[in-house]
Structure 1
């Protein structure tokens, strides 16, 4: 693990953590919930400040209202939801309003969570989610640890969120200044990949202030399991068909059009099939693109507790990202989920994702953005003996348990939070003594 090293510590005190995340279940965002559960297991009382659930479709979930603040108990956590403008489509204006509306409402209405906290932990995607924690630092001296999930402002523009022009230049300047300040004010910064750590340090954040904390999978769910016996039958696939599966967000950043196009080059292999599981803004376009193809299948989003069994019904799991410089330092959470399940992987993405999988001996890498090259790698995978594919899956699971598991990474996070809370306590005592 790169970054600062921290002695093992499980807090005996009851340092209260405020987890700040724009997205939280019932939205399909298991990482923030997994973090909250793990911290609670390390002795921290945890409260959650989040938004009204509307991801990934932009439609407010049943039982909630976009403009109404609510307090609920979820998974034995106190969860405060503040209003937002619901949107998750391709409109730059609506997405901007979505981010800024929650930044404003969480800052204005999140005091009941942040005021009582000894330390805040910010799930920093989008980066505007840190606004409430920054305000709490100014108002009450609450320190925060910032989990940088992706690189801002770069990630905003990587998928054409704003076109060139004065609007983009202004947004880049404003977001860049805001992001720099968010890093500076943080007690510590964590990143989910080695490449992202190198980039953040190169941008001026002290190396000792940045640690790699991998996003671990939900290990109660994502583990080796028996295959869903009905999935292939429902899709009209045979037992001997070779199935490549992508399960996750069907968004622009994933460039799944490249994967669909690759299937056009595999028409001479009628036993090779692609199964796309999930939802997202690109799903309608992908369905239209795949309409003439009999080897591409779509499956609606699957409940988290069933996804490992669905994955086990495939021969190979797919990870796909656009061929953008930003994605060379991006590690999609599905990499950890697939490795935890002991499944072989085909990575069609640049940088860290491909390096980690190939170094672990856990699968194949294909050139991103190249449907012909991807088709050739799929041919290679199909020709690989089943026992060799199983060995790749086993190697990936060993790598996950050693480097990416909850046991390894949650301890680092717990240490960082405990140290931030202790520093705040020391500063408070000093103020009282000199006051």
Structure 2
């Protein structure tokens, strides 16, 4: 069996942990030949390259810069990527047929390449991770009903129509999709959550302590960690409010790790106010970040309060894997709050409700038994519902 996977994720190290790399490895373990097409951005790649690693076949296509660049270059590169992927796939996979074409959003511009392989008999599966352009409208990056919106809305519809099956991250995500796209047949939509390959977390006290010392984090503090993208979708205004008031959390230490368009803004803000119990670190190698997760006591999630789309950030699975209770501040539309309540693995506050967020942080800081209990609950929930070994069955039944 052959499966084609189109992604914007960096797959240079397919053995690295992550929702897409874990998915690829699990498919390969099932004896399936999986062909992965992913971008080699201009800043790092000189040419298109093809590599075989057992059942995993990697086609790195030279593209424009998609990440860590301005909106104009990102937009142009995203629009060009479909043609670049299709050209490379035709060249390197000319003698192959695929049982299933798998792809995720972003981007929403893969309809032509999906249609090309459907005409050859492939089935198609969309992993819906991002509902664009509405998410950009929500945070005022695109004008509703404007020319840009209309262009991408048509692209979005084409992608939904060409997809035989659409896998949504959560029930709320699925209901939103169906309620706002009446042309979609409900029968072809299902829940396919973010999932990983859970591994046992072993502590190395010497190494872990050294990481805390390196970043000047007090050994006896209660470490609250946020790790991930630092952009407009994360609701940075509220994150900065939390930083300004985190001194109210006795013995609490707020660590922010990541990169993105708002990183410099956060850096300048923290430099101005000199918070003693808040630290900002630029994105780290995965291994070192995982050492920090091992020493953390609480995992944080932030989303902009204006979102109307139920988003489920992938960092939730990383926190659950490390048995970290979760403290989330998001829009009121996401069903993340329902997931936290059902799993008994954390607290939720609406983004902007500073009093509620700080109170929840205080509760965590003052109750180690609660932290441990909620952390274990999250790990158990991960193993039950977000283990790629189990969720992969949802996908493979369509092959």
TM-score (norm 1): 0.82
For 2:237 and 2:51, the matched residues in 1 are separated by 40
- Structure 1 position 331 matched with structure 2 position 319: no
For 1:236 and 1:109, the matched residues in 2 are separated by 47
1:368 Cα deviation from its structure 2 partner: 1.0
Change (3 A) 1:91 1:308: closer
- Flag the structure with more relative contact order, 1 or 2, with Cα contacts below 8 A and sequence separation at least 6: 1
Change (3 A) 1:158 1:83: farther
Residue 173 of structure 1 corresponds to which residue in structure 2? 150
Alignment of 1:272-311 (within 5 A): 272-291=252-271, 292=273, 293-311=275-293
Change (3 A) 1:248 1:84: same
Q: 1:42 aligns with which of 19, 30, 34?
A: 30
Alignment of 1:236-275 (within 5 A): 236-269=216-249, 271-275=251-255
Superimposed CA distance per residue, residues 81-136 of structure 1 (whole angstroms, 9 cap, x where no aligned partner): 22322143574322211211212211233223385322211123211244422233
- Structure 1 position 188 matched with structure 2 position 165: yes
SS in structure 2 opposite 1:258? helix
1:357 Cα deviation from its structure 2 partner: 1.2
Change (3 A) 1:123 1:283: same
SS in structure 2 opposite 1:238? coil
Uncovered stretches (5+) of structure 2, i.e. residues with no partner? none
SS in structure 1 opposite 2:351? coil
For 2:350 and 2:54, the matched residues in 1 are separated by 41
1:73 Cα deviation from its structure 2 partner: 3.5
8 Å Cα contact 2:317/2:386 also seen in 1: yes
For 2:281 and 2:163, the matched residues in 1 are separated by 41
1:282 Cα deviation from its structure 2 partner: 1.4
What is the number of equivalent residue pairs in this alignment?
386
1:194 Cα deviation from its structure 2 partner: 1.2
Change (3 A) 1:159 1:98: farther
Mean Cα deviation higher: 255-264 or 96-105: 255-264
For 2:197 and 2:39, the matched residues in 1 are separated by 22
1:352 Cα deviation from its structure 2 partner: 1.6
Superimposed CA distance per residue, residues 338-391 of structure 1 (whole angstroms, 9 cap, x where no aligned partner): 1122111101113222221122111111221333432232223222x2122101
SS in structure 2 opposite 1:267? helix
1:74 Cα deviation from its structure 2 partner: 5.3
Residue 5 of structure 1 corresponds to which residue in structure 2? none
Change (3 A) 1:306 1:268: closer
Structure with more of its chain in strand, by fraction: 2
TM-score (norm 2): 0.89
Change (3 A) 1:348 1:246: same
Mean Cα deviation higher: 29-38 or 390-399: 29-38
Q: CA RMSD in A?
A: 2.4
1:261 Cα deviation from its structure 2 partner: 1.7
- Structure 1 position 409 matched with structure 2 position 386: no
Residue 337 of structure 2 corresponds to which residue in structure 1? 354
For 1:53 and 1:246, the matched residues in 2 are separated by 27
Query: Where does structure 1 differ by over 4 angstroms across 4 or more consecutive aligned residues?
Result: none
